[in-house]
A and B are shown apart, each in its own frame.
Chain A
Amino acid sequence: MLRIDNLHVRAGEKEILTGVTLHVAPGEVHAIMGPNGSGKSTLVQVLAGREGYEVTAGSVTYQGRDLLALAPEERAREGVFLAFQYPVEIPGVNNAYLLKAALNAIRKHRGEPEVDAFEFLALVREKMKLMQMDESFLSRGVNEGFSGGEKKRNEILQMAVLEPTLALLDETDSGLDIDALRVVANGVNSLRRPDRAIVMVTHYQRLLDYIEPDKVHVLAGGRIAKTGDKSLALELEKRGYDWIKQEAA
């Protein structure tokens, strides 16, 4: 589904990714871990189309297409979804409006009829229940005045409504207490399907107790330094990252 080959990315003068190669098959869940500043967030942001990064070498193929040639909104309509590490507050645009606009943009692109107000509300209510969110969220500004945990829940709610093919989660677990983490993990797990892939960036092994990954990668020095299964995450928890950096050097 997703093939990243030898990806080099720089931001200004700084080289951040120095040859990332990563292949993700449908139905798989991949976790990307690594020390601060190793380029984890950069990788998922580049995949979602964030401006300000320059791809200097390598390629990214998504469902057989050159992902990097698409605008961010085209990627979204093709089924790529990024759950932001810091979801943006947009007072004046309400949550329901954004969700419905996004859903209809994607449906239109797929050649499906747009949903009407009733269908939309029924769908969102069901997903909000899953995320244990109060309906009053819908009429509030996008993320306006939300707590850190509410913002993360809202990201997963959007993901549940938009049903992406490739979900990218950027530190969705950070800043969550244990109850909120369980709710968010539940939401993500409910979206696991044989035709959907999930790539999640995380600092902590604890997320992986709730969302079991097929593969765990360690990103260090701008490239994948080590790949393993979930036991690698436990080892990292015990030993830290230094041994991997030394191994890679």
Chain B
Amino acid sequence: MSVAPALQANATLERYRTLFEERFTSGPLLEARRDALDAFLKRGFPTQRDEQWKYTSLRRLEARTFVLGEAAPVSLEPARRPWITHGGGFRLVFVNGHWAPALSSPMAQPPGVTLVTLGEWVKHEPDAVLEYLAQASHRSASALEQLNAAFFEDGLVIRLSPNARVDDPIHVVHVWTSTTRPAMAHPRVLVRAGHHSSCTLIEQYVCCGEPESFTNVVAILDLEEGAQVQHYRLQQESPKAFHIGHIDVCVRRDARYGIHDFSLGATLSRLNIRVRLQEPGAHTDLHGLLPPSGTQHLDTHTLIEHIAPHTTSTENYRGIADGRGRGVFNGKVLVHPGAQKTDAHQSSRNLLLSPTAEFNAKPELEIYADDVKCSHGATIGQLDATALFYLRSRGISEADARVLLIHAFAHAVLASVETPAVREHLEALLAARFGSTQVTS
């Protein structure tokens, strides 16, 4: 009897092998894919025995059977499409994991930028892809990243030439349509920002209807000397969706990487962000908002590695848990030996709106250098009773006062959003989520 669960688990994993054999039968990447698949099957899905997954169980995900997503039309008229439709710059839309040219901006390349879909890249430069995969496998070695490496089909490759300054945002949309069977996709987003180049990347995960989907995306970004990338990530998947994301960033000398993580959707979401500050002067700032409600489980794990001296990081995460929602934030800062003059600040503040909501916030500092400035703070609490009374004593109803205070709390993260179209979109999403006040202002 005791072997039954193990057998069952193997049977689950074997489904991935069957799916793989059906989909991938030839081509230059087959061997690399198979190696990745074997690595995944050997390790399986992470379990809660793994310290990194202590608060997040993937058993529900593991128990489900997914087919690979297929291209499909999006019938919604433009005004009702769930993604940012104005001021988005260069837009590339992927439907169920596949590039949808009809929904995307014409592939006219902005000066200094090369945008290629991963599908096209594999078709035309398989050797370059293989070389890239070999490099990437050193960086992204977790079981779920291996699963992505086995199954990835499409995605986006962005290359910025040295000194290229791209003012309009590059907007990548991943949309799920209603599928008859639960479906999965393993897209990739690759960014190579040449020295002193800059761009804004908007990554958006949305859905039409409430599909049962599984997204397992890997994003790899390389910022050369002096490059600047602002990365907005809006995860608005279906309430029946599983979303796993991996972001791996390498920041070179005097380059700056900023990420704004809005993990709003999915029944279960897990985002791993790893930023390596590789050379002196490298800087990163991480902003995040995790608002689990209903029975949602939203988890972001961040790892900032200060590898070189004179590197700086700031991190500001906020959680707002309602209903029976559960949030997890784990922020690790690792200061390598010799990374003197590191300056790292982290703040995680979390709000519980209901007695059944839960938040696990954990800062982790690991420091192997002695001349550094590191600080962290994590708080978990309820709406401030004094502030509520203050607003009510000015004639504002209790319900409106609550809404005002919740928005004010989220504002600390929203304020980091500089692209107006993204900010307006988020404001509308948060108003729909937390309600808007009845007062006229």
A contact residues vs B (CB 8 Å cutoff): 48-52, 71-73, 75-77, 81-82, 84, 87-88, 90-93, 96-98, 100-102, 104-106, 109, 114, 141, 158, 162
**When the two chains form their complex, are residues A105 and B396 in contact, meaning their CB atoms are under 8 A apart?**
yes
**When the two chains form their complex, are residues A101 and B440 in contact, meaning their CB atoms are under 8 A apart?**
yes
- B415 / chain A contacts, CB cutoff of 8 Å: 92
A106 — nearest CB in chain B belongs to which residue? B395
Binds A, one of B87-95, B206-214, B216-224, B405-413: B405-413
Q: In the assembled complex, how far is the CB of residue B279 from the closest CB belonging to chain A, in whole angstroms?
A: 35
- With A92-B409, A97-B441, A98-B396 given, name 13 new contacts (CB 8 A): A48-B393, A49-B392, A49-B393, A52-B385, A88-B384, A91-B412, A92-B407, A100-B441, A101-B396, A101-B440, A102-B395, A105-B396, A162-B394
| Among candidates A49, A90, A102, residue contacting B405 with C-beta atoms closer than 8 Å | A90
Q: How many A-B residue pairs have CB under 8 A?
A: 89
| Among candidates A84, A104, A106, A158, residue contacting B440 with C-beta atoms closer than 8 Å | A104
- A100 / chain B contacts, CB cutoff of 8 Å: 440-441
- B389 / chain A contacts, CB cutoff of 8 Å: 49-51, 72
Q: In the assembled complex, how far is the CB of residue A175 from the closest CB belonging to chain B, in whole angstroms?
A: 18
Chain B 138-162, CB-CB to A under 8 Å as 1, else 0, gives 0000000000000000000000000
A73 — nearest CB in chain B belongs to which residue? B392
- B398 / chain A contacts, CB cutoff of 8 Å: 71, 73
B75 on interface, CB distance cutoff 8 Å: no
Known contacts A101-B441, A104-B439, A90 near B387 by CB under 8 Å = yes
- B412 / chain A contacts, CB cutoff of 8 Å: 91-92
- A90 / chain B contacts, CB cutoff of 8 Å: 387, 390-391, 404-405, 408
Q: In the assembled complex, how far is the CB of residue B74 from the closest CB belonging to chain A, in whole angstroms?
A: 36
Q: Which interface residue of B389, B404, B439, B441 has the most chain A CB atoms within 10 A?
A: B441
Q: In the assembled complex, how far is the CB of residue A225 from the closest CB belonging to chain B, in whole angstroms?
A: 28
Q: Which interface residue of A90, A100, A158, A162 has the most chain B CB atoms within 10 A?
A: A90
Of the A-B pairs whose beta carbons lie under 8 Å apart in the complex, a sample of 19, sorted by A's number, is: A71-B398, A73-B392, A73-B393, A82-B393, A90-B404, A90-B405, A92-B407, A92-B415, A93-B408, A97-B441, A98-B391, A98-B396, A100-B441, A101-B439, A102-B394, A105-B396, A141-B408, A158-B394, A162-B394
**When the two chains form their complex, are residues B395 and A73 in contact, meaning their CB atoms are under 8 A apart?**
yes
**When the two chains form their complex, are residues B408 and A101 in contact, meaning their CB atoms are under 8 A apart?**
no
B437 on interface, CB distance cutoff 8 Å: yes
Complex Cα gap A162–B394 (Å): 9
Complex Cα gap A84–B415 (Å): 28
**When the two chains form their complex, are residues A84 and B395 in contact, meaning their CB atoms are under 8 A apart?**
no
Known contacts A51-B389, A91-B411, A73 near B396 by CB under 8 Å = yes
**When the two chains form their complex, are residues B395 and A76 in contact, meaning their CB atoms are under 8 A apart?**
yes
B347 on interface, CB distance cutoff 8 Å: no
Q: In the assembled complex, how far is the CB of residue A247 from the closest CB belonging to chain B, in whole angstroms?
A: 35
B12 on interface, CB distance cutoff 8 Å: no
| Among candidates B392, B410, B439, residue contacting A76 with C-beta atoms closer than 8 Å | B392
- B407 / chain A contacts, CB cutoff of 8 Å: 92-93
- B272 / chain A contacts, CB cutoff of 8 Å: none
**When the two chains form their complex, are residues A91 and B384 in contact, meaning their CB atoms are under 8 A apart?**
no
B397 on interface, CB distance cutoff 8 Å: yes
B386 on interface, CB distance cutoff 8 Å: yes
Chain B 373-388, CB-CB to A under 8 Å as 1, else 0, gives 0000000000011110
B384 — nearest CB in chain A belongs to which residue? A88
- A50 / chain B contacts, CB cutoff of 8 Å: 389
- B390 / chain A contacts, CB cutoff of 8 Å: 84, 87-88, 90
| Among candidates A77, A81, A92, A96, residue contacting B408 with C-beta atoms closer than 8 Å | A92
Complex Cα gap A90–B412 (Å): 11
Complex Cα gap A50–B392 (Å): 10
Complex Cα gap A11–B410 (Å): 33
- A101 / chain B contacts, CB cutoff of 8 Å: 394, 396, 400, 437, 439-441
Complex Cα gap A17–B394 (Å): 25
Complex Cα gap A106–B206 (Å): 41
Known contacts A97-B441, A104-B440, A114-B440, A91 near B408 by CB under 8 Å = yes
**When the two chains form their complex, are residues A88 and B386 in contact, meaning their CB atoms are under 8 A apart?**
yes
**When the two chains form their complex, are residues A104 and B409 in contact, meaning their CB atoms are under 8 A apart?**
no
Q: In the assembled complex, how far is the CB of residue A90 from the closest CB belonging to chain B, in whole angstroms?
A: 5
Complex Cα gap A77–B395 (Å): 5
- B440 / chain A contacts, CB cutoff of 8 Å: 100-101, 104, 114
Complex Cα gap A39–B384 (Å): 23
| Among candidates B384, B385, B386, B396, residue contacting A102 with C-beta atoms closer than 8 Å | B396
Q: In the assembled complex, how far is the CB of residue B402 from the closest CB belonging to chain A, in whole angstroms?
A: 12
